[in-house]
Chain A
Amino acid sequence: MSVIYDHFERHAHGEGLKGRTTHYCPGCGHGLVHRDLAEVIETLGIQDRTILVSPVGCSVFAYYYFDVGNTQAAHGRAPAVAIGHKRANPNSIVISYQGDGDLASIGLAETISTAQMGIPITVIFINNAIYGMTGGQLAPTTLMGQKTTTSPEGRTQAMGMPLRMAELIAQLDGPVYVERVALYDAKHRIKAKKAIEKALRIQAEGRGYAFIEVLSECPTHLKMSPEETEKWVQECMEPVFPLGVKKDLVVEPWWNAEQTPSFDPGKVLALVGASKDAPTRHAKGFPAHMGGQDISFKLAGAGGDGAQTAALLLARAAINEGFDATNIPSYGPESRGGTSYADVHIAETEVLNPGAPDPMVLVAFNAPSLMKFAPTVRKGGVIIYDSTVIEDLSKLPALAPGIRMVGVPLTQLALGLERPMVKNIVALGAIQSVTQAFPVETFLSTIRTVLKDKPALLPLNEAAFAAGVRHAALIPA
């Protein structure tokens, strides 16, 4: 068998007889499935494409034997590891070989989700109704009443009843082929090998995911001779875990084994939105008149007020002018309906601290935002608020000295354009007019860049911006 190593170099460094014998107990079903699997890999001619994922359990050392690509996985995670391999090299044939504790207990979530993905991998599930490696504990497939070291009086209902994995997997939409087989006599061994071959063929042809459950013998922990164990599997296990094909769909090949990722730089740059065109600069210099080399803004409102978009446009305008800028949105539950605010900094060279606990400019879209943030605005700062919705300033807390309050009817102006949602763009116009941070053209070209894929929205946004500029200009300083 060319798929089994000539010499088990990894088994105790291949010393002595270990170089040619398995680590399995006498009569263990694993060896039989290994033999079948190796022969099938050879028959199908897929040795140079195959990756075997060994699990945790008695078959943890399956990689001692198979002359294929080998990966050993964490307990229960073999199918996830298999998906990683299959995604990395879609042409590889990936086998997830697992026992009952691995597949049906600790790895149940990976087992089911991977099956449902339906990506062509092959899962070989060795069900021997007991934990082997750890020494004979209760398995998810242990029979009712069966004694194990952790069910010394026999399995009871409260320990959970035996899990029928083949049936469970078969009722999912992802898999195309599911069969339960056994090894207890020659006839069934032939069937088992055929099932394994079919499962691997389905993968090799790119048709989908296949799952083979093998009722297997663990003479050691059943404390029986191999022969008695074969009988036990037939007489006790099989009635609980009926053999046969559980699902067999005819599916056309769909998996693209040839897929290779693109590293075309042009494509990558286009996808990340990188552009060669330098934005035109309109500003004569940094707006230091606003108070230094680093100016902070806070834009605050209710969820749908558009404070975040306005903040982004403001930061982008600064960047288009060749300055540094940062924008931090409030995020999370508070952005779902409650107050939504954003901090923006623009700086001549580098924004040191991007937070704006004491902004120079506050834009408040509603009364709660105004009440909350107005007292934080620093000396000599500006507060722009929506005078349509904030009429009463009598409850306003004490402000720092020299603050200019500018009421602009943002909502009303937006309603004049029959689109209340553009009040944030109206606000941007007001910011331009009141602060003279950058020229009108800076903002307009920023709006144009952002809307380049939605040209239909441009006239409306330009009109909203102009309305904000116009109206704020009328307000005496």
Chain B
Amino acid sequence: MTFDSFFQNLANGISLGSLYALIAIGYTMVYGILRLINFAHGDLVMLGSYFAFYGVSMFFLPWWAAFIFAVGVTAGVGVVMEKVAYRPLREFPRINLFTAAVAVSFLLENLAIVIFGGRPKAFSRPPFMDKMLNIGSITFVSYTPIIIAVSLVLFVGLILIINHTKAGTAMRALSKDIETTGLMGVNTNKTIMFAFLLGSCLAAVGGILWAIKFPQINPLMGVMPGLKAFVAAVLGGIGNVGGAMIGGLLLGIVEIMLVAFFPSLSGYRDAFSFAILILLLLFRPTGIMGEVQPEKV
């Protein structure tokens, strides 16, 4: 492989990995707090891209307004999902909560098929995201650095929120002990809602960027990115936000490099991600950044 194509692949891997990471964060935050694998999280990715699509094609919004609209509406769906489907079940065994998540996922996918239609739609990129860029002898499309830059800004923003704001401290406390966090005067319902809001916003951004990178959207498009992001979250250590970022990036880079170095294996790309997961779990069950977490009672 030439030096140039290595860098092209690396950039590609980082951009794919950033998308996995954006989605993985929502999984990991919700797991950290509720010990729930929010199976429906991947569907928020799909909703984000559809809302952006309709923002442009139906409401004739400029692309940036359509994106903000899409992120807002998706976040609304995430918050309603928490309030209606998960909050009433919080005191019940985890399996009930997980079953509810599976149900919400099917509900969202089927609603999408009914409302948006089952046929894939072509997502048109804003023109400036579709430019060929040449840096030296390396060529790539402008959306690649844009995806990386947007993700990076969001990662830094999120880390600042989590580590340096009152709400962020409360979220970290919640992930240890919900009841005692309430004893600190924290409105725990509101803070859990805030975590869902953040995760859903990032999933929506991930969905929009996903549709820019792979410009065809369909009601089941969230499933694979959702699963991959879940793998990324577990790789990084589920419950750990920094881990989700690292896990996502790693998974994206490894996937792209695998295909680049061994083109004949490209058909096994997805299987490969899950193989990495199984191997890692054998040797390091808590993931890269994870610590042993007690079951929540």
| A and B are interacting partners | no
**A residues with CB within 8 A of B:** none
